[in-house]
Copies of this chain bind each other. A is one copy, B any other.
Amino acid sequence: MPSIDPARKKNLLSRLSRIEGQIRGISRMIEDEQYCIDVLNQISAARSALNSVGQIMLEGHIKGCVTDAIQHGVGDASIDELMDAIKKYTF
């Protein structure tokens, strides 16, 4: 499997660290009994941030592992596995 690009790795880790902060912020909002709709909006923001991490991983996976598998003539198994991952996010 091709190793992860260092810039991509740093980008992903910094996004995940921000998401951790968002989750802690949501906990504080609930502790403080802030208005539900404001909490829901923060949950939705954290969810979008997590989706972006998923997208970046997915793109890296297709450009790395899946491309590699196709170039070595073993793309089909890799694409089946990819489709399973996509379905978890999408449909």
- Name A's B-contacting residues (CB within 8 A): 1, 3-4, 9, 12-13, 16-17, 19-20, 23-24, 26-27, 30-31, 33, 35-37, 39-41, 43-44, 46-48, 50-55, 57-65, 67, 70-71, 75-76, 79, 81-83, 85-91
CA distance A85 to B23 in the complex (A): 18
Contact with A37, one of B26, B37, B40, B81 (Cβ below 8 angstroms):
B81
Contact B33 A88 (CB under 8 A): no
Nearest CB on B from A80, distance (A) = 8
With A27-B17, A91-B51, A91-B89 as known contacts, state yes or no: A67 contacts B70, CB within 8 Å: yes
Of the A-B pairs whose beta carbons lie under 8 Å apart in the complex, a sample of 11, sorted by A's number, is A23-B23, A40-B61, A40-B85, A44-B54, A44-B85, A44-B89, A47-B51, A55-B90, A55-B91, A62-B79, A63-B79
Q: Are A83 and B71 in contact (CB under 8 A)?
A: no
